[in-house]
Amino acid sequence: MNARLLSTSALLLALDVILYKIAIGPAYFQITFGFLSMALMGYLYGPIWAGLLEMLSNTLNFTIFGSGTFQAAFLITAFLGGFINGLFLYHKKINLPSVIAAQLLIMIPVSLFINSWLMSVLFGADFKVIFLGRFIRNMIQIPIQIMVVYSFIKTLEARKVFKRAV
Protein backbone atom coordinates (compact mmCIF):
# COMPACT_ATOMS: atom_id res chain seq x y z
CA MET A 1 0.00 0.00 0.00
CA ASN A 2 1.42 3.37 -0.95
CA ALA A 3 0.52 7.06 -0.64
CA ARG A 4 -0.86 7.23 -4.18
CA LEU A 5 -3.22 4.30 -3.60
CA LEU A 6 -4.43 5.72 -0.30
CA SER A 7 -4.93 9.27 -1.57
CA THR A 8 -6.69 8.20 -4.77
CA SER A 9 -8.84 5.79 -2.78
CA ALA A 10 -9.79 8.56 -0.36
CA LEU A 11 -10.76 10.84 -3.25
CA LEU A 12 -12.83 8.10 -4.90
CA LEU A 13 -14.45 7.30 -1.57
CA ALA A 14 -15.42 10.95 -1.08
CA LEU A 15 -16.72 11.07 -4.65
CA ASP A 16 -18.72 7.90 -4.03
CA VAL A 17 -20.34 9.32 -0.89
CA ILE A 18 -21.28 12.51 -2.77
CA LEU A 19 -22.55 10.74 -5.91
CA TYR A 20 -24.80 8.44 -3.88
CA LYS A 21 -26.47 11.58 -2.50
CA ILE A 22 -27.04 13.17 -5.92
CA ALA A 23 -30.32 11.82 -7.19
CA ILE A 24 -32.89 12.55 -9.85
CA GLY A 25 -36.53 11.66 -9.69
CA PRO A 26 -39.11 11.61 -6.91
CA ALA A 27 -38.22 10.14 -3.50
CA TYR A 28 -39.85 6.77 -4.24
CA PHE A 29 -38.11 6.39 -7.61
CA GLN A 30 -34.71 8.03 -7.27
CA ILE A 31 -31.76 7.26 -9.49
CA THR A 32 -28.39 8.08 -7.92
CA PHE A 33 -24.99 8.36 -9.56
CA GLY A 34 -22.90 6.30 -7.13
CA PHE A 35 -22.64 3.60 -9.78
CA LEU A 36 -20.14 5.79 -11.63
CA SER A 37 -17.61 6.02 -8.80
CA MET A 38 -18.19 2.33 -7.99
CA ALA A 39 -17.30 1.40 -11.59
CA LEU A 40 -14.24 3.64 -11.47
CA MET A 41 -13.07 1.97 -8.25
CA GLY A 42 -13.42 -1.43 -9.91
CA TYR A 43 -11.63 -0.23 -13.03
CA LEU A 44 -8.68 1.19 -11.09
CA TYR A 45 -8.31 -1.19 -8.14
CA GLY A 46 -9.88 -4.54 -8.91
CA PRO A 47 -12.51 -6.60 -7.17
CA ILE A 48 -11.29 -6.81 -3.58
CA TRP A 49 -10.21 -3.20 -3.04
CA ALA A 50 -13.28 -1.84 -4.87
CA GLY A 51 -15.54 -4.06 -2.78
CA LEU A 52 -13.92 -2.90 0.46
CA LEU A 53 -14.16 0.75 -0.60
CA GLU A 54 -17.86 0.29 -1.36
CA MET A 55 -18.40 -1.20 2.11
CA LEU A 56 -16.63 1.79 3.63
CA SER A 57 -18.69 4.16 1.48
CA ASN A 58 -21.89 2.50 2.65
CA THR A 59 -20.80 2.89 6.27
CA LEU A 60 -19.75 6.53 5.77
CA ASN A 61 -23.03 7.35 4.05
CA PHE A 62 -24.95 6.04 7.04
CA THR A 63 -22.62 7.73 9.53
CA ILE A 64 -22.72 11.12 7.84
CA PHE A 65 -26.25 11.23 6.42
CA GLY A 66 -27.85 8.32 8.31
CA SER A 67 -31.52 7.90 8.68
CA GLY A 68 -33.06 4.85 10.29
CA THR A 69 -30.89 2.08 11.62
CA PHE A 70 -27.65 0.76 10.21
CA GLN A 71 -28.03 -2.70 8.65
CA ALA A 72 -24.73 -4.55 8.28
CA ALA A 73 -26.34 -6.98 5.82
CA PHE A 74 -26.28 -4.26 3.17
CA LEU A 75 -22.47 -4.22 3.41
CA ILE A 76 -22.57 -7.55 1.57
CA THR A 77 -24.34 -6.07 -1.43
CA ALA A 78 -22.11 -2.98 -1.30
CA PHE A 79 -19.07 -5.26 -1.44
CA LEU A 80 -20.59 -7.27 -4.31
CA GLY A 81 -21.16 -4.12 -6.39
CA GLY A 82 -17.51 -3.08 -6.15
CA PHE A 83 -16.32 -6.66 -6.53
CA ILE A 84 -18.32 -7.27 -9.73
CA ASN A 85 -17.12 -4.02 -11.30
CA GLY A 86 -13.53 -4.96 -10.46
CA LEU A 87 -14.01 -8.43 -11.87
CA PHE A 88 -15.17 -7.13 -15.24
CA LEU A 89 -13.28 -3.83 -15.58
CA TYR A 90 -9.90 -4.20 -13.85
CA HIS A 91 -6.83 -4.78 -16.07
CA LYS A 92 -8.99 -4.86 -19.17
CA LYS A 93 -9.47 -2.54 -22.09
CA ILE A 94 -13.01 -1.30 -21.60
CA ASN A 95 -15.52 -2.72 -24.04
CA LEU A 96 -19.29 -2.63 -24.12
CA PRO A 97 -19.86 -6.35 -23.37
CA SER A 98 -17.81 -6.10 -20.14
CA VAL A 99 -19.70 -3.03 -18.97
CA ILE A 100 -23.05 -4.63 -19.86
CA ALA A 101 -22.17 -7.83 -18.00
CA ALA A 102 -21.01 -5.94 -14.90
CA GLN A 103 -24.04 -3.68 -14.76
CA LEU A 104 -26.51 -6.51 -15.37
CA LEU A 105 -24.93 -8.65 -12.63
CA ILE A 106 -25.06 -5.76 -10.19
CA MET A 107 -28.55 -4.57 -11.05
CA ILE A 108 -30.38 -7.89 -11.37
CA PRO A 109 -29.10 -10.47 -8.86
CA VAL A 110 -27.58 -8.01 -6.37
CA SER A 111 -29.82 -4.94 -6.45
CA LEU A 112 -33.08 -6.48 -7.56
CA PHE A 113 -33.08 -9.85 -5.79
CA ILE A 114 -30.67 -9.67 -2.83
CA ASN A 115 -31.42 -6.07 -1.79
CA SER A 116 -35.17 -6.58 -2.21
CA TRP A 117 -35.00 -9.73 -0.11
CA LEU A 118 -32.89 -8.02 2.57
CA MET A 119 -35.32 -5.10 2.72
CA SER A 120 -38.30 -7.42 3.10
CA VAL A 121 -36.60 -9.46 5.86
CA LEU A 122 -35.01 -6.59 7.78
CA PHE A 123 -37.91 -4.13 7.56
CA GLY A 124 -40.84 -6.55 7.45
CA ALA A 125 -42.06 -5.28 4.09
CA ASP A 126 -43.76 -7.33 1.40
CA PHE A 127 -41.11 -8.75 -0.97
CA LYS A 128 -43.41 -8.50 -4.01
CA VAL A 129 -44.07 -4.80 -3.45
CA ILE A 130 -40.39 -3.99 -2.96
CA PHE A 131 -39.39 -6.18 -5.90
CA LEU A 132 -41.89 -4.58 -8.29
CA GLY A 133 -40.80 -1.04 -7.43
CA ARG A 134 -37.14 -1.94 -7.75
CA PHE A 135 -37.78 -3.90 -10.97
CA ILE A 136 -39.29 -0.87 -12.71
CA ARG A 137 -36.54 1.45 -11.47
CA ASN A 138 -33.75 -0.99 -12.39
CA MET A 139 -35.09 -1.60 -15.91
CA ILE A 140 -34.95 2.15 -16.50
CA GLN A 141 -31.59 2.56 -14.81
CA ILE A 142 -29.72 -0.35 -16.43
CA PRO A 143 -29.32 1.17 -19.92
CA ILE A 144 -28.49 4.55 -18.40
CA GLN A 145 -25.77 3.04 -16.22
CA ILE A 146 -24.33 1.03 -19.08
CA MET A 147 -24.00 4.01 -21.39
CA VAL A 148 -22.72 6.41 -18.71
CA VAL A 149 -20.11 3.98 -17.33
CA TYR A 150 -18.94 2.95 -20.79
CA SER A 151 -18.70 6.53 -22.09
CA PHE A 152 -17.04 7.84 -18.94
CA ILE A 153 -14.33 5.19 -18.71
CA LYS A 154 -13.68 5.22 -22.48
CA THR A 155 -13.18 8.99 -22.23
CA LEU A 156 -10.75 8.54 -19.33
CA GLU A 157 -8.84 5.91 -21.33
CA ALA A 158 -8.72 8.08 -24.45
CA ARG A 159 -7.37 11.02 -22.47
CA LYS A 160 -4.95 8.78 -20.54
CA VAL A 161 -6.17 10.23 -17.25
CA PHE A 162 -5.01 7.24 -15.23
CA LYS A 163 -1.80 5.34 -15.74
CA ARG A 164 -2.54 1.67 -15.38
CA ALA A 165 -1.53 -1.57 -17.00
CA VAL A 166 -4.11 -2.77 -19.47
Q: Is residue 88 part of a domain?
A: yes
Q: Is residue 131 part of a domain?
A: yes
What range does the domain containing 122 cover? 3-158
Confidence of residue 115 (pLDDT cuts 50, 70, 90): very high
- Residues 67 and 102 sit within 8 Å (Cβ to Cβ): no
Q: Is residue 154 part of a domain?
A: yes
Residue 165 is predicted with a pLDDT of: 44
Residue 78 is predicted with a pLDDT of: 96
Q: Is residue 9 part of a domain?
A: yes
Q: How would you write the chain as a 3-class SS string?
A: CCHHHHHHHHHHHHHHHHHCCCEECCHHHCEECHHHHHHHHHHHHHHHHHHHHHHHHHHHHHHHHCCCCCCCHHHHHHHHHHHHHHHHHCCCCCCHHHHHHHHHHHHHHHHHHHHHHHHHHHHCCCHHHHHHHHHHHHHHHHHHHHHHHHHHHHHHHHCCCCCCCC
Inform me whether the pLDDT recorded for 9 exceeds 80: yes
Q: Is residue 126 part of a domain?
A: yes
25 Cβ neighbours under 8 A, 6+ residues apart? 31
d(CA 42, CA 132) in angstroms, rounded, equals: 29
Q: What is the CATH number of the domain that holds 11?
A: 1.10.1760.20
Quote the number of domains for the chain: 1
99 Cβ neighbours under 8 A, 6+ residues apart? 39, 88, 89, 146, 149, 150, 153
Q: Give the mean model confidence (pLDDT) for residues 95-109.
A: 98
Q: Is residue 166 part of a domain?
A: no
Q: Is residue 61 part of a domain?
A: yes
Residue 12 is predicted with a pLDDT of: 94
Confidence of residue 69 (pLDDT cuts 50, 70, 90): low
Inform me whether the pLDDT recorded for 68 exceeds 70: no
Higher pLDDT, 27 or 131: 131
Q: Is residue 163 part of a domain?
A: no
Q: Give the mean model confidence (pLDDT) for residues 100-109.
A: 98
